[in-house]
Copies of this chain bind each other. A is one copy, B any other.
Amino acid sequence: MSIPRIASLQQQSISEPPPPPLYIITPTYRRPEQLAELTRLGYTLKHVVNLYWLVIEDAEEPTPQVTKLLQKINVPFSHLVAQMPAKYRKNKVKPRGVSNRNRGLEWIRANASDGVLYFADDDNTYDVEIFDEMRYTKKVSMWPVGLITKFGVSSPIVKNGTVVGFYDGWIGGRKYPVDMASFSVSVRFLLSRPNASMPYKPGYEEDGFLKSLSPLKLTEIELLASNCTEILVWHTQSKKNPNAMSLDMGKYNNTNLVHLRNILV
């Protein structure tokens, strides 16, 4: 049985100009699933050219195991930290990821002048096609996200090529009832809105950020994924795992388990 050799997904000749850069903002935090989630997201992003990965931990210091993993995966990255302000940490429903994403926006304002930004949580699933589509966003692009709420999908409602509303299991009085994974923003457009940021308001993070980009007409939203008829992003969620049990060191001294224990959260 002979198996064809696999060519790289993205091959470009040296003479072609590179496409506009993509800035992928991934908020993350220490938990048993963290390294696994970043691993599979990293391998997806590695198929995309001219991409810069901003991995931003809600932590005091960057976790060394995360830095090591990012170096190993070898997608161009910056590993930053941004802690949730103390006053929100006592909340029952925490505004998770907001400090991280605002830190990402700050980095982009300081370092980027063109291209496109996207908030990509570490537990979602992405078809690489969406990255090549979002790359040419002029202001704000949108598309459907699968596996979310009782409807099974969240999407702009599109009629004759324009947004006429939003289909989402929870509207909650939002102007933009969309998921974090459903839109990209051009860097130039962000820079033209110096006050745009994400509010610390659970459930209203996307809506608040998109409103902070106003004025933005619904008719200006660029529709991707074949006019929102395809699902190229899924809101997958991993089952939470408990922290690992502590190891009986007397029993397992001088075995490999001592090394494994040091890796576990």
A86 at the interface (CB under 8 A from B): no
Q: Quick one: CB contact mask for A246-257 with B, threshold 8 Å, 1 for yes?
A: 000000101111
Residues of B within 8 A of A4 (CB): 76
A191 at the interface (CB under 8 A from B): no
Evaluate whether A6 and B76 lie within 8 angstroms (CB atoms) in the complex, with A36-B236, A242-B150 already known. yes
Q: By the criterion CB–CB under 8 Å, are B256 and A228 in contact? A: yes
Q: By the criterion CB–CB under 8 Å, are A112 and B1 in contact? A: yes
Chain A residues 228-265 with CB under 8 Å of chain B are 228-231, 234, 236-239, 241-245, 252, 254-257, 259-260, 263-265
Evaluate whether A147 and B33 lie within 8 angstroms (CB atoms) in the complex, with A164-B255, A264-B153 already known. yes
A144 at the interface (CB under 8 A from B): yes
Q: By the criterion CB–CB under 8 Å, are A257 and B167 in contact? A: yes
Residues of B within 8 A of A12 (CB): 5
Instruction: Please state the number of chain copies in the assembly.
Output: 2
The A interface, classified by DSSP as helix, strand, loop or mixed, is loop
How many residues of chain A are within 8 Å of chain B by beta carbon? 78
Chain A residues 1-15 with CB under 8 Å of chain B are 1, 3-12
Cα distance, A74 to B239, chains bound together (Å): 29
**Could you say which of B33, B36, B147 contacts A241, with CB atoms under 8 Å apart?**
B147
Q: How far is the CB of A204 from chain B (nearest CB, A)?
A: 23
A43 at the interface (CB under 8 A from B): yes
Q: By the criterion CB–CB under 8 Å, are B18 and A5 in contact? A: yes
Evaluate whether A255 and B158 lie within 8 angstroms (CB atoms) in the complex, with A1-B113, A76-B3, A260-B229 already known. yes
Q: By the criterion CB–CB under 8 Å, are B245 and A260 in contact? A: no
